[in-house]
Structure 1
Amino acid sequence: MFFSTSTGVLALAATQLFIGVSAQLKTCTNNSTLSCHSSSKAPTCCYNYPGGALLQTQFWDTNPSTGPSDSWTIHGLWPDNCDGTYQSSCDPSRAYTNITAILKEQGRNQLLSYMDQYWVNIDGDNESFWAHEWGKHGTCINTIDPSCYTNYTPQEEVGDFFQKVVNLFKSLDTYTALSNAGITPDSSKTYSLGDIEAALTKVHGGSQAYVGCEDGSLNQVWYFFNVRGNAINGQYQATAPLSKSTCPSSGIKYAPKSGN
């Protein structure tokens, strides 16, 4: 894993966990065009289009609480059309609902265990949540289309997608970034949007993140990237958010999770 806070470039090598399987994504060169930066607007296996901006999104759930009390949780990885609009549910034929079974079949048990702790549904139905995120957003990432693999194995892109989202999430520790700036969950304290954004900029390669609130309480963070190459082992470059914060400029609550 490589992450440079000076350039905002994140390059994560995809880990193939299959035994005896040689399938892999087609190779992209280092001079591949950065997504959202081409006038040709033609999708290839090395150019994310139309969803050229990829968002690693996170939750802070408190009512009810989900995940560890000292960590945010995963929402997903969303392709955005570089302008705040997006496609959804792009391939119903690959809208798989048996994500657990797919990951187990691929030998990704460690990944599955991590997801059960950090990629959790507020209603307790993790499987449906994962299926929703894959069907709505994952199937719209064109650079992980089955045609972009050599020796393709069915559902291989599903495992690659979930592993990539987890890798990105691990590199973007929102709780620690805020805590290092003195911004911690508290039942009475409030914080300013500027301070929150400044703290997250440090973990996001110098680029601002989107901060979301509900009823004045902090509840979501979205980290925007452009990608050079495919979405699995390409280089991720942090970029400014395409959406405006839903938080007030001051008086933002950061409620503790239950038991915190």
Structure 2
Amino acid sequence: MQFKSLVFLHLFSLQCLSYICLVQSHDFFFVVQMWPGSYCDTKRVSCCYRAAGKPTDFTIHGLWPHFNNNSIPQDCNRKNPFNKAKVSDLTTKLEKTWPTFKCGRKSSSAKFWSHEWTKHGTCSEDVLDQHAYFKAALNIKDKVNLLEILKNAGIQPDGKFYKLDDIKEAIKAGTGYNPVIECNTDASGNIQLYQVYLCVDSAGSSLIECPVTLKRDTSIELPML
């Protein structure tokens, strides 16, 4: 089946601050799940599927350390590069749930994981080493099945429009916590659901209520798979 777009209203623009960590510490994580159809169904990107094939679920974009002052540490330790051998036992699951959709011979899921580790993971390495960092994201994904949560609330990836409040309430009912929704625009100019942000404690293990407030708006469409 061909992905179309999960459409929602543009809710916020999350700006990342360039930050050099003198001490690797953070207050919490954002765990970010992405709807692949909304990534692929835009004018700006080409989209390719890897060995695991076309996904039929939300995928992981990242596990991002964050501070309570709403700043984001980045690139904290380039002396600790990504080593695929350290996550070899997780590779099959990572390929399925944390793939890249970028095209080109130089693009690969491992390159995406390397980017995420270098930019974000190294800023939490006082708590999570490489294996623990990727394992934590996979564990949270297992706990939070966004597609099932939305379907249980009667919200289907069927190309219809749904109220933003209904989607947020469904996710809160399914997880116990308020999500932050990010949207983008498809090739036809429709606003679509792109990513769902939930907050996780500083150990990367349990969902928490987000300590920061991000800008949001109010309305959405949900595309077909």
Do both proteins adopt the same fold according to a TM-score greater than 0.5, normalized to the shorter chain?
yes
Q: Name the counterpart of 2:35.
A: 60
Contact 1:79-1:86 within 8 A present in 2 as well: yes
Contact 2:29-2:200 within 8 A present in 1 as well: yes
Residue 202 (structure 1) aligned to one of 165, 173, 198: 173
1:191 aligned onto 2:166: no
Contact 1:212-1:245 within 8 A present in 2 as well: no
How many Å separate the matches in 1 of 2:174 and 2:119? 27
TM-score (norm. length: structure 2): 0.73
Residue 97 (structure 2) aligned to one of 102, 111, 118: 118
The secondary structure found in structure 2 opposite 1:144 is coil
1:131 aligned onto 2:114: yes
1:219 aligned onto 2:203: no
How many Å separate the matches in 2 of 1:237 and 1:167? 11
- Structure with higher Rg: it is 1
1:249 aligned onto 2:224: no
Amino acid at match of 2:218: S
TM-score (norm. length: structure 1): 0.64
How many Å separate the matches in 1 of 2:149 and 2:215? 18
How many Å separate the matches in 2 of 1:61 and 1:241? 27
The C-alpha deviation readout for 1:97-116, integer Å capped at 9, x for no partner, is: x42x3323xxx1xx210111
Q: Name the counterpart of 1:141.
A: 124
How many Å separate the matches in 1 of 2:96 and 2:223? 20
Superposed CA RMSD in Å reads: 2.2
* Unaligned runs of at least 5 residues, structure 1: 1-42, 146-156
Q: Name the counterpart of 1:37.
A: none
How many Å separate the matches in 2 of 1:65 and 1:208? 32
How many Å separate the matches in 1 of 2:31 and 2:199? 7
Contact 2:180-2:214 within 8 A present in 1 as well: yes
| More relative contact order, 1 or 2 (CA 8 Å, 6+ apart) | 2
Shift in CA distance, 61/243, structure 1 to aligned 2, threshold 3 Å: farther
How many Å separate the matches in 2 of 1:165 and 1:68? 20
How many Å separate the matches in 1 of 2:30 and 2:131? 18
